Amino acid sequence: MTHLSEQERHTLWRIADVLVPATSTRPSLRDADPDGIWLDRALTARADLVGAAKEELARFESVDDLESAIVELHDTERVRFDVLATAVTGAYYLVPAVRELIGYPGQHRTPPRLEEAAEELSDEIFEAAMNYPGSYRPTPR
């Protein structure tokens, strides 16, 4: 499913260049997701935002000084800004290469070693909890 037209996607990429720009260590959204695969997945997950996102993209399509316009939107119309920011960051941080760069493995099975809990409670950190002097408040029967 493609939620955005080619024009809309290009406008969103321009906005992404303002919000999450390329640096020497991080790619831009257009470079990280050139086919818009992750953008579409993000918008499928937040399909409720697609209509509002399209409206915003239409508004910003021919804006020249996009950075100033986006900053103004952030400062004055936060709900509208959040629609665009959610689409941009939602897509950007789905891209596997970006996740690798930020060190996020995603949610997955990571069962602990069986002895891990006991080991964590075997030093002076837990000693203090066991020696805590307080108690619950007694109640009259």
Partner 1 sequence: MTIGDGAATPSDRADVLIIGAGPSGGVVAEHMARHGFSVVCLEQGRWVNSGEFPAIKPEWELLAQKQWYPEPNVRGNAEDYPTNVSESDVSPVMFAGVGGSTLIYSAHWMRLLPSDFRVKTLNGVADDWPITYEDLAPYYDRMDAAVGVAGLEGDPMYPEGMVPPLPPHPIGKIGRIAARGMNKMGWHWWPSPNAIASQKHGEFARCARWGTCETGCPEGAKSSFDLTHWPTAIRHGARLITGARVSTITVDAKGRADGAVYVDATGREHRQKARLVVVAANGIGTPRLLLLSAHGGAPNGLANSSGLVGKRLMLHPNAEVTGIYDEPLDSWLGPAGQAIHSLEFYETDPSRGFVGGAKWQVMPIGGPLRALSLHDRRPFAEKWGPAVHDRMDETLGRGLQWGINSQDMPEETNHVDLDPTLTDSNGIPAPRIRYRLSENTRKLLQFNLDRAVEAHEAAGAVRTVATDLWPEQPGHLLGTATMGTDPATSVVNEWNIAHDVPNLAIVDGSVMPTSGAVNPTATITALALRAAEHLTNNARWQEISE
- The footprint of partner 1 (CB under 8 A) covers 18-21, 23, 25-26, 41-42, 44-46, 48, 71, 74-75, 85-86, 89-90, 93-94, 99, 102-112, 116-118, 120-121, 125-126, 128-130, 132, 134-141
Residue 13 CB partners (closer than 8 Å, separation 6+): 28, 29, 30
User: For partner 1, which is the closer residue by CB, 7 or 122?
Assistant: 122
Asked if 4 and 61 touch (Cβ cutoff 8 Å), the reply is: no
User: For partner 1, which is the closer residue by CB, 6 or 106?
Assistant: 106
CB of residue 66 vs partner 1: minimum separation in angstroms?
Answer: 12
Q: Is 108 exposed, middle or buried (0-12, 13-18, 19+ CB in 10 A)?
A: exposed
State how far the alpha carbon of 82 is from the alpha carbons of 18, 52, 56, 65, in Å: 14, 10, 11, 19
CB of residue 16 vs partner 1: minimum separation in angstroms?
Answer: 10
CB of residue 58 vs partner 1: minimum separation in angstroms?
Answer: 22
Taking CA 90 as the corner, what is the angle to CA 72 and CA 69, rounded to the nearest 5 degrees? 15
CB of residue 137 vs partner 1: minimum separation in angstroms?
Answer: 4
